[in-house]
Chain A
């Protein structure tokens, strides 16, 4: 019962960004590991569009199934650069770029939540 689904959307994006940051951390840590393939998360639109099929809980005794909709898939990215003898596909510069992108988005995200929260407080306090 939420009039505006902004908080839900924002927390979804925050979760997605956190997973993406983990993927960047893995890539940077494994920048010198032979045979390691750089990974990235699926685009956020895909996470939003997902309509998973879950079992309906029609009785109170039913166990909830772990919802697959909050899971963000991390998979190796395609690599177009020159093939190195170590077969490692991490480009450190790209990872730092991605990190900057994540930071900006996260800042925007928390700022929006903050502003929205302030609006709600204005309404309640009058």
Chain B
């Protein structure tokens, strides 16, 4: 396969990985207040995502793929809300271990990486069209 086409393929895999990351961030943010429903039940547990480099046998370049989507094992913060349906006998409700600031930072970074991948695609496309321009009739 042509090296520039391979570059396009790699950058496309990067776009896919970053959008998956953005999906996980949005899940975490959407569920930042999702508590359990039974008394003392566990609330939503934050999800984490990790990537891995995958060698593409056809072209010999390393694509990126989702390695795993795991759960964050950290402790849940508790809030004192005696009237809540998920409150235990002492009136404490377990809240999700989602830190909105961390999610925001993660989102910004996903955004930045996505942009970088887009830039690579744009450039590979330009290089290809520069080569095609050689064939255009001159004079």
The count of A-to-B residue pairs whose CB atoms sit within 8 angstroms is: 112
- Which interface class (under 10, 10 to 19, 20 to 34, 35 or more) fits B? 35 or more
**A24, closest chain B residue (CB):** B120
Known: A30-B62, A106-B130, A107-B130. A25 touches B52 (CB 8 A): no
Write the A14-37 contact mask toward B (1 if CB under 8 angstroms, else 0): 110111011111101111111110
Of residues 97 to 126 in A, which have CB atoms within 8 Å of B's CB atoms? 99, 102-103, 106-107, 110, 113-114, 117-118, 121
Instruction: Let me know if B52 and A114 touch, CB within 8 A.
Output: no
Stretch at the interface among B7-15, B24-32, B35-43, B77-85: B7-15
Which residues of A are found within 8 Å of B33, using beta-carbon distances? none
By the criterion CB–CB under 8 Å, are A25 and B10 in contact? yes
- Residue of B6, B51, B138 touching A121 (CB-CB under 8 A): B138
Check A21–B124 contact: CB distance below 8 A: yes
22 contacts between A and B (CB under 8 A): A15-B3, A18-B2, A18-B127, A21-B7, A21-B124, A28-B14, A29-B10, A29-B14, A29-B62, A31-B113, A31-B116, A32-B113, A34-B50, A34-B52, A99-B119, A103-B126, A107-B130, A110-B134, A114-B133, A117-B134, A118-B138, A118-B139
Determine whether A92 belongs to the interface, using a CB cutoff of 8 Å to chain B.
yes
- Residues of B at the A interface (CB closer than 8 Å) are 2-4, 6-8, 10-11, 13-14, 17-18, 21, 50-53, 59, 61-64, 109, 112-113, 116-117, 119-120, 123-124, 126-127, 130-131, 133-134, 138-139
On chain B, the residues within 8 Å of A121 by CB distance are 138-139
Contact residues, A22-78 vs B (CB, 8 A): 22-26, 28-36
Task: State how many residues of chain A have any CB contact under 8 Å with chain B.
Answer: 34
By beta carbon, the residue of chain B nearest A111 is B130
A96 touches B (CB below 8 Å): yes
Residues of B within 8 A of A17 (CB): 127
Residues of B within 8 A of A23 (CB): 61
User: Does B64 lie within 8 Å of A22, measured CB to CB?
Assistant: no
Chain B residue with the shortest CB-CB distance to A114: B134
Check if B133 sits within 8 Å of A110, measured CB to CB.
Answer: yes
Shortest B3–chain A CB gap in Å is 4
Q: What is the bound-complex CA distance between A19 and B61, given in angstroms?
A: 10
- A21 adjacent to B127 (CB under 8 Å): yes
Those 6 A-B pairs whose CB atoms lie nearest each other, nearest first: A29-B14, A18-B3, A25-B7, A25-B10, A22-B7, A33-B51
Task: State how many angstroms separate the Cβ of B15 from the closest Cβ of chain A.
Answer: 8
B51 and A32: CB pair below 8 A?
yes
